[in-house]
Chain A
Amino acid sequence: MPVSSSPRTLFDKIWADHVVDRLEDGTCILYIDRHLVHEVTSPQAFEGLRMAGRRLRRPDATVAVVDHNVPTSDRSQPIEEPESRLQIETLEKNVAEFGVPYFPLRSASQGIVHVVGPEQGISLPGMTIVCGDSHTSTHGALGALAFGIGTSEVEHVMATQTLLQKPAKNMRVSVEGKVGPGVTAKDIMLAIIGKIGTAGGTGHVIEFAGSAIRDLDMAGRMTLCNMSIEGGAKAGLIAPDETTFAYVKGRPFAPKGEAFEQACAYWRTLASDEGAHFDTEVTLKAEDIVPSVTWGNSPQDVLPIDGVVPSPSDFKDPAQAAQVQRALDYMGLTAGQKIAGTPVDVVFIGSCTNSRLEDLRAAAEVVRGRHVAKNVRAMIVPGSGLVKVAAEAEGLDKIFLDAGFEWREAGCSMCLGMNPDRLTPGQRCASTSNRNFEGRQGPGGRTHLCSPSMAAAAAVTGTLCDVRELMKETV
């Protein structure tokens, strides 16, 4: 750990502690502490190793899960879709051949890679963590440098345990103050993306700071960092603090006893130094943030729930105006209409963004004593088998089932519809996932991103609505 006199950011410190070598043009060979692998983006990389006769350098720093393709219904039967089955079987063959620790479909701990990593203590503060998945930024919540990579880089990490990288720029997003009732980490992040835009973080690593961020529990911090990529950032991270250490302590793969204390001592040195330089600074007031939803096909298309849908004429650039019109057409919305009151067909509560126990608790609080509206299909997909079991121990499954929700098995599910959980053309969905792109949840599907409590409110009222109204009512 080199000592530097000039003040450094959290990102600068983690970066410096992982540089193996620096090439002539400034490209660094960056050491990777954890490589998380799933079935969709790894088969071509394993095949590449085999073709070149290369070994997997660090099976003991690699962990594999199945999540994207897995059915979230009955798992006693073989997987129906032949291509999904082949991808999962291929992963199982590869992890056996290369000796990779693996959470199989039937493991009680199986789940979405970005839920399982932190939950198991595989992802830890101060680490570099990569995965062939853009939402790897989630793990930054622990105070790690975590980012998504393509399959060629997956193969590079497998063969060398490093990546060739140039340092990113530093961006700090500070949220100061206290959020109001009904406002969650998801609303904070949607507000940030609405402010900086989907390309606002390009080339940067975002450090989230400020009192509203420090007040978040780890699940909330993961929601925030998860969607850093939706703001275009390479990664998002939050300085590790007592909340982080309490979360990590005792997790299955975390350091134990004396080793944990030593690790904590190191992790405490990682916070950005006073006076550290940030290339870009953004500040939001927590009090200004309200429960939000998206209206269009980009995560930056954010509206406060009491807002109205924009018009193409609000935009000067003809390309942007055309894009707004296209989004209105795709989403079946009219310029100037209030977003609240828009009827929904489906409610999806799940995904690596919002499928943790705390998310399910927040949804259950809204659902308790109410019933899913007529003609709405509402589903809960816990982020992992362990989240599911913990929720059941609290009786959350009963609240959801009594209200008419589906209570499903863990996986990526309708966030991207690689398994059978998909929207049909024209269906409108209030979703706690991360992307509202055209066709993301199924061809022709219409996605409105929101928090678990807002999604729960949409489920019980049948329309996008302000969860704060429901919180006022006593059931």
Chain B
Amino acid sequence: MEKFTELTAIAAPMPNENIDTDQIIPARFLKTIQRTGLGKNAFAAQRYDDNGNENPDFVLNKEPYRHAEILITYDNLGCGSSREHAPWALLDFGIRCVIAPSFADIFFNNCFKNGILPIRLPREICDELMGDARQGANSRLTVDLEKQIIIRPDGNVVPFEVDPFRRHMLLEGLDDIGQTLAHDAEISSFEHQASRAWVPSISMGTAK
């Protein structure tokens, strides 16, 4: 996973609530067996017309937002399906940071696993950042994960909170499987507890 330390980039405004993962990447594009290549179909239904031509009104088809690396939305970003194809599509498009008043739990978690920083901020602050994002060429924000601040185009600073464990993983670009496997002995002793004797093992020969 790529580290996330500091990012200065164009922020795109998407002033909608409940942007679901079906919007971020429709189901018909989930037939891939790879993580990459989904960026061209991110937000496909809004981004392209029926003939596959770009819809000029959609924000990510406009300059400078086609180069956006930050997305600003309203409540409940990423609701719906658990598909990790949603953060994969955002990442493949170039998005490294998403900012919203609230997120759906699975999407929030999936972002961290892919080097995307999701930032929760109160609606009033998201309104201000939405205003910044609407400034076209002047919509550049700096997101500093080390210091946990966002620097707005006018130089004002917005602090944000992030879970310390997840912050550490992002800053270092760490894979958490390796970390968990360091607890292999504890996992083994847990699964051999007498109180777990009732949990059946599954093999296709077990069913009667």
- Residues of A with Cβ closer than 8 Å to B? 1, 17, 20-21, 23, 25, 27, 29, 31, 33, 40-41, 43-44, 47, 52, 54, 58, 60-63, 68-69, 81, 83-84, 86-87, 90, 101-102, 120, 122, 124, 127, 132-134, 136, 148-153, 155-156, 159-162, 164, 198-199, 202-203, 229, 232, 234, 252-256, 259, 262-263, 266, 298, 319-320, 322-323, 416-418, 425, 435, 437-440, 443
Known: A232-B104, A232-B105, A417-B28. A132 touches B82 (CB 8 A): yes
Instruction: Please determine whether A159 and B82 come into contact, CB atoms closer than 8 angstroms.
Output: no
Instruction: Please determine whether A443 and B45 come into contact, CB atoms closer than 8 angstroms.
Output: yes
Known: A29-B187, A425-B50. A418 touches B28 (CB 8 A): yes
Task: Please name 5 pairs of A and B residues whose Cβ atoms are closer than 8 Å in the assembled complex, sorted by A.
Answer: A1-B195, A25-B165, A44-B35, A134-B106, A198-B76
Instruction: Please determine whether A155 and B177 come into contact, CB atoms closer than 8 angstroms.
Output: yes
Kindly list 15 other residue pairs between chains A and B, CB separation below 8 angstroms, not including A153-B109, A437-B80: A21-B183, A23-B165, A31-B187, A40-B30, A149-B109, A150-B106, A152-B84, A199-B75, A199-B79, A203-B105, A253-B207, A254-B200, A437-B22, A439-B22, A439-B26
A435 partner, pick from B22, B30, B32, B102, beta carbons under 8 A? B22
Cα–Cα distance between A298 and B17 once the two chains are bound (Å): 10
**Distance between A386 CB and nearest chain B CB, rounded to angstroms:** 12
Residues of B contacting A81 in the complex (Cβ-Cβ under 8 angstroms): 31
Residues of B contacting A266 in the complex (Cβ-Cβ under 8 angstroms): 195, 198
Cα–Cα distance between A185 and B104 once the two chains are bound (Å): 24
Instruction: Please determine whether A198 and B79 come into contact, CB atoms closer than 8 angstroms.
Output: yes
Instruction: Please determine whether B17 and A86 come into contact, CB atoms closer than 8 angstroms.
Output: no
Residues of B contacting A150 in the complex (Cβ-Cβ under 8 angstroms): 82-84, 87, 106, 109-110, 113
Residue of A nearest to B199 (CB): A33
- Residues of B with Cβ closer than 8 Å to A? 15-18, 20, 22-23, 26-28, 30-35, 45, 50, 74-76, 79-84, 87, 102-106, 109-110, 113-114, 163-165, 176-177, 180-181, 183-184, 186-187, 190-191, 195, 197-204, 206-208
Instruction: Please determine whether A20 and B183 come into contact, CB atoms closer than 8 angstroms.
Output: yes
Residues of A contacting B32 in the complex (Cβ-Cβ under 8 angstroms): 83
A202 partner, pick from B105, B202, B207, beta carbons under 8 A? B105
B198 partner, pick from A198, A259, A418, beta carbons under 8 A? A259
Instruction: Please determine whether A159 and B181 come into contact, CB atoms closer than 8 angstroms.
Output: yes
Instruction: Please determine whether B106 and A148 come into contact, CB atoms closer than 8 angstroms.
Output: yes
Instruction: Please determine whether A127 and B199 come into contact, CB atoms closer than 8 angstroms.
Output: yes
**Distance between B9 CB and nearest chain A CB, rounded to angstroms:** 24
Cα–Cα distance between A322 and B186 once the two chains are bound (Å): 52
**Distance between B153 CB and nearest chain A CB, rounded to angstroms:** 22
Instruction: Please determine whether B206 and A253 come into contact, CB atoms closer than 8 angstroms.
Output: yes
Residue of A nearest to B110 (CB): A150
Instruction: Please determine whether A255 and B165 come into contact, CB atoms closer than 8 angstroms.
Output: no
Residues of A contacting B207 in the complex (Cβ-Cβ under 8 angstroms): 120, 252-253
B183 partner, pick from A25, A29, A152, A198, beta carbons under 8 A? A29
Residues of A contacting B204 in the complex (Cβ-Cβ under 8 angstroms): 101-102
Cα–Cα distance between A359 and B206 once the two chains are bound (Å): 29
Cα–Cα distance between A44 and B110 once the two chains are bound (Å): 14
Known: A21-B186, A31-B190, A298-B18. A234 touches B105 (CB 8 A): yes
Residues of B contacting A438 in the complex (Cβ-Cβ under 8 angstroms): 22-23, 45
Known: A266-B198, A439-B22. A20 touches B80 (CB 8 A): no
**Distance between B111 CB and nearest chain A CB, rounded to angstroms:** 9
